[in-house]
Amino acid sequence: MEVETNKHLLPSYFKIISFVITGLSLISAIISFNEQLNLDPNIFLPLGKYFFLLALAVFFIFKRKK
């Protein structure tokens, strides 16, 4: 008995995982850069809003492809 795997799901999940890792590394780079320059901590409020909108856009792009 053979088990069929849905090969169409694998690339989208790998893309989502890679986007999450890229986003987390970008956020950590911004945090370390902010600590080095001693900038205002309130800079993260608009950055968090833009990252949230980017995450929503990526989610709906992958949802529409199915």
Looking at residue 4, what is its pLDDT?
A: 62
Please give the Cα distance from 43 to 45 (Å, whole number).
6
Residue type, 42: N
Looking at residue 59, what is its pLDDT?
A: 77
44: which 2 tokens? 């993260």
30: which 2 tokens? 């911004």
Looking at residue 56, what is its pLDDT?
A: 78
pTM of the shown model:
0.44
pLDDT in tens, 13-56: 777 777 788 877 777 777 777 677 776 666 666 767 777 777 77
Residue type, 34: N
Predicted confidence band of residue 5 (pLDDT cuts 50, 70, 90): low
